[in-house]
């Protein structure tokens, strides 16, 4: 399977997570609930629903990763991480195709479907908390061998993935749904990269 | 002829590469100078000695630079990013007590000045860059130059003034007034800092903060 330089991989995952977190803090925090929770159509998720979906994954995986990192006995980080076939499959499933568009549409697993409309500021707060946590975990993971630690997948915990694969899947999944959220916000009338804040337009 | 020319150009080229980081350092020191002199003027010699003790540093988002119980040995001067000091309650809740951002001193001030263990945590909230120096180096200069000691006095008095004013605001302002005061002083914070930290700083719960955010906006 695919081989990665561990340090480079973790750095790249941190960079991607950082970009998304930056966007959430500087743009999405200022979007009113009415726009954040607006569904582009009956069958498509609002930005709020996208984040609720992401949060439900984070709620399972982040504590599992933290647990795994605490238990890791080897103090030597590995030079190389070898992606397992299942992990690699999940990650690939999340990535956009060659045109930059989302690959095949999928229905989210039942446990990870947003069930009710929550206040967007609550959803966003949890989302921001989770990305801060993810960044810390990626940093901690530099001391550990990503090949050795294993984590069960949320919908079938008896199926284990390597820690490196879980990180890759999480970030790819994050990118997929935050892109989806951006499209939903565009649909709600927000320009990409701009936010609604005419009163406080004097920004740093 | 061309070869001779290249020999002349090369050292300048190398100098340009080396000097770019020096340029950054000197720009940061310029900001430091502006800040210091806005409070208290130093002589040329005093400034030369003071400016020589600083080094560049940086830290990623959510890096704890000083933990509760540690004595603050470092003085920071922020050139990029946002940091905060927070207190951790007995039931693990965080109370954000101060934010720092460019261009100002940072670190746990009371621990630094008294050289006693800090009661607070000091962490970056975003990727940050700063100038930093050590207590030992500062103390040495303060022993030598009474005028520098005077600067430290002024800066401390200034910080005390701010702390008292903040206490008044926390005790007497309504949630709405606290909110608008913060945003008038520092309008950029809404886009730089996760709102949970702002709410904590203002002593407002998250729901109230969110409500205020939507009502204040047009």
Per residue in B52-97, pLDDT tens?
999 999 999 999 999 999 999 999 999 999 999 999 999 999 999 9
Please check whether residue B190 touches A, CB under 8 A. Answer: yes
pLDDT band of B4, cuts 50, 70, 90: low
A74 touching chain B per CB within 8 A = no
Residue B37 within a domain: yes
Residue B16: per-residue pLDDT: 56
Average pLDDT over residues B171-188: 91
In this structure, is residue B155 part of a structural domain?
A: no
Residues B214, A32 contacting (CB under 8 angstroms): yes
pLDDT score of B22? 77
For residues A169-179, one letter each, b for 16 or more C-beta atoms within 10 angstroms of the residue's C-beta and e for the rest, the string is bbbbbbbbbbb
pLDDT band at B187 (very low <50, low <70, confident <90, very high): confident
Task: Provide the terminal-to-terminal Cα distance of chain A, rounded to the nearest Å.
Answer: 46
- Interchain CB distance below 8 Å, B194 and A196: no
| Residue B103: cis peptide before it, omega within 30 degrees of 0 | yes
Q: Does a structural domain hold residue B184?
A: no
Interface contact flag, B194 A195, Cβ < 8 Å: no
Contact: B62, A204; criterion CB under 8 Å = no
Check B62 against A135: CB less than 8 A apart: yes
Range with the lowest mean pLDDT among A53-62, B103-112, B144-153, B187-196?
B187-196
Which of A135, A197, A202 faces B61 most closely, judged by CB atoms?
A135
Tens-digit pLDDT string for chain A (204 aa): 678 888 999 999 999 999 999 999 999 999 999 999 999 999 899 999 999 999 999 999 999 999 999 888 666 677 888 888 777 777 777 776 555 556 666 777 777 777 788 999 999 999 999 999 999 999 999 988 888 888 888 888 888 889 999 999 999 999 999 999 999 999 988 876 544 333 333 322
Q: Considering only residues A92 and B118, tell me which one the structure prediction assigns the higher pLDDT.
A: B118
What residues of chain B lie within 8 A of the CB of A197, using their CB? Answer: 190-191, 217
Q: What is the pLDDT of residue A200?
A: 35
A 168-197: CB under 8 A from B? 195-197
Q: What is the pLDDT of residue A23?
A: 95
**Tell me, what CATH number does B109's domain have?**
2.60.120.10
Predicted complex: ipTM over 0.85 = no
pLDDT at A177: 93
CA angle B94, B96, B102 (to 5 degrees): 140
Closest partner CB to B195 (pick from A29, A200, A202): A29
Determine whether the interchain pair B196/A200 forms a contact, defined as Cβ–Cβ distance below 8 Å: no
Question: What is the reported pLDDT for B74?
Answer: 98
- The tokens describing A123, both together, are 């959803």
Residue A58: per-residue pLDDT: 96
- Dump the DSSP string for B70-89: SB--EEEEEEES-EEEEEE-
CATH class of A3-187: mainly alpha
Nearest CA in chain B to A201: B187
Let me know: does B72 contact B120? Beta carbons within 8 Å.
Answer: no
Is B218 in CB contact (< 8 Å) with chain A? yes
pLDDT attached to residue B68: 97
Q: Are B100 and B83 in contact (CB under 8 A)?
A: yes
The better pLDDT of the pair A155, B42 is held by B42
DSSP state of A77: P
Computed over every residue of chain B, the mean pLDDT equals: 90
For A27, which residue in chain B has the nearest alpha carbon? Answer: B191
Kindly determine whether residue A204 and residue B206, on different chains, have CB atoms separated by under 8 Å: no
Q: How many domains does chain B have?
A: 1
Unique residue bearing structure tokens 């439900």: A56
B26 in A contact zone (CB under 8 Å): no
CB-based contact, B62 to chain A, within 8 Å:
yes
> How close is the nearest chain A Cα to the Cα of B76, in Å?
21
Q: For an interface test with A, which of B190, B197, B218 has the most A Cβ atoms less than 10 Å from its Cβ?
A: B190
Closest CB from B61, B191, B216 relative to A18: B61
Share above pLDDT 90 across residues of chain B, in percent, rounded to a whole number: 81
Report yes or no on B136 lying in a domain: yes
Domain that holds residue B103: 6-147
């Amino acid at each position: 399977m695919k081989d990665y330089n561990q340090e480079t991989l973790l750095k790249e995952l941190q960079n991607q997570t950082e970009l998304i977190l930056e966007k959430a803090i500087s743009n999405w925090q200022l979007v009113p609930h009415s726009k954040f929770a607006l569904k582009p159509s009956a069958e498509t998720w609002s930005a709020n629903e996208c984040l609720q979906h992401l949060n439900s994954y984070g709620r399972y995986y982040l504590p599992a990763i933290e647990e795994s990192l605490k238990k890791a006995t080897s103090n030597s980080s590995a030079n190389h991480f070898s992606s397992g076939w299942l992990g690699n499959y999940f990650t690939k499933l999340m990535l956009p195709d060659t045109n930059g568009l989302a690959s095949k549409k999928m229905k989210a697993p039942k446990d990870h479907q947003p069930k009710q409309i929550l206040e967007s500021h609550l959803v966003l707060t949890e989302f921001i908390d989770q990305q801060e946590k993810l960044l810390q975990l990626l940093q901690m993971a530099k001391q550990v061998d990503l090949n050795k630690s294993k984590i069960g997948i949320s919908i079938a915990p008896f199926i284990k993935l390597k820690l490196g694969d879980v990180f890759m899947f999480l970030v790819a999944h994050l990118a997929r749904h935050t892109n989806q959220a951006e499209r939903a916000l565009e649909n709600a009338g927000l320009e990409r990269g701009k936010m609604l804040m005419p009163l406080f337009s004097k920004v740093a | 002829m061309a070869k001779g020319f290249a020999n002349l150009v090369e050292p300048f080229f190398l100098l340009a590469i080396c000097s770019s980081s020096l340029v950054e350092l000197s720009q940061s020191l310029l900001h430091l100078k502006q800040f210091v002199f806005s409070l208290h003027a130093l002589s040329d010699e005093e400034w030369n000695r003071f400016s020589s003790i600083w080094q560049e540093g940086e830290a990623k988002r959510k890096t704890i630079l000083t933990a509760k119980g540690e004595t603050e040995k470092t003085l920071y001067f922020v050139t990029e990013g946002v940091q905060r000091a927070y207190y951790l309650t007995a039931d693990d809740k965080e109370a954000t007590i101060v934010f720092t951002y460019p261009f100002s001193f940072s670190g746990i001030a009371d621990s630094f000045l008294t050289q006693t263990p800090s009661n607070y945590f000091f962490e970056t909230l975003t990727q940050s860059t700063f100038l930093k120096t050590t207590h030992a180096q500062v103390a040495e200069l303060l022993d030598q130059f009474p005028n520098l000691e005077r600067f430290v006095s002024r800066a401390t008095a200034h910080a005390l003034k701010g702390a008292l004013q903040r206490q008044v605001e926390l005790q007497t302002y309504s949630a709405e007034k606290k909110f608008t005061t913060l945003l008038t002083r520092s309008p950029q914070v809404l886009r730089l800092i996760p709102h949970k930290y702002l709410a904590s700083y203002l002593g407002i719960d998250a729901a109230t903060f969110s409500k205020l955010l939507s009502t204040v906006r047009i």
